Amino acid sequence: MGRASKLAHSTWVLISCYAARMNEKKEHQRAAIGAGRDVPRPLRLARIVDAFGITHARRHVFLCTGPNCCTSEQGLETWEYLKKRVKELCPNLAEATIYRTKVNCFRICTDGPICVVYPEGAWYWGVTPEVCERILTEHVIGGRIVEEHCFAKNRLLPDGEVP
């Protein structure tokens, strides 16, 4: 096996281990909040909504962790930072006003990590942990879009407009 193949294989193994660990962690979380797979669907979903403060969220941050807009390592570094900071900013998960979601592609596929924050629909490029911190403090908490890293805006529906 060549050096590049070995490196690609090691990266794949690392990412697979990370994904397996995350799935295990999610199953533990579901069990801990009483929303395991054996619980009837309406109750299971209601418990998840309550546990993660779905109806309290004021802003939703989506982050792409690559692998095309950035390397998976870069994407996961920012993702871990985002998770840690949201936990610090919203210690009570059931009443958290910030919701965060990891995605695998927005079809931008360059200049990542790419991130989008709703309800403003502000799209950000180059979201390193440092830029992520600015997005959290200036935009998500402060309400001001970080213009230097914003490359598109689309609120989807203007305030008060019903389709």
Q: Which chain residues interact with ligand FES by CB under 6 A?
A: 64, 66, 68-69, 105-109, 112, 114
Closer of 92 and 110 to ligand FES (Cβ): 110
Compute CA distances 32 → 18, 37, 103, whole Å.
21, 12, 24
115 - beta bridge partners? 63, 124
In the bound complex, what is the minimum distance in angstroms from residue 126's beta carbon to ligand FES? Answer: 12
Closer of 82 and 114 to ligand FES (Cβ): 114
Q: Judge if the upstream peptide bond of residue 91 is cis by omega within 30 degrees of 0.
A: no
**What does the alpha-carbon distance between residue 131 and residue 125 come to, in Å, rounded to a whole number?**
9
Q: What φ, ψ does residue 69 adopt, rounded to 5°?
A: -80, -20
Among all residues, whose Cβ is closest to ligand FES?
69
In the bound complex, what is the minimum distance in angstroms from residue 157's beta carbon to ligand FES? Answer: 23
In the bound complex, what is the minimum distance in angstroms from residue 67's beta carbon to ligand FES? Answer: 6
Closer of 112 and 126 to ligand FES (Cβ): 112
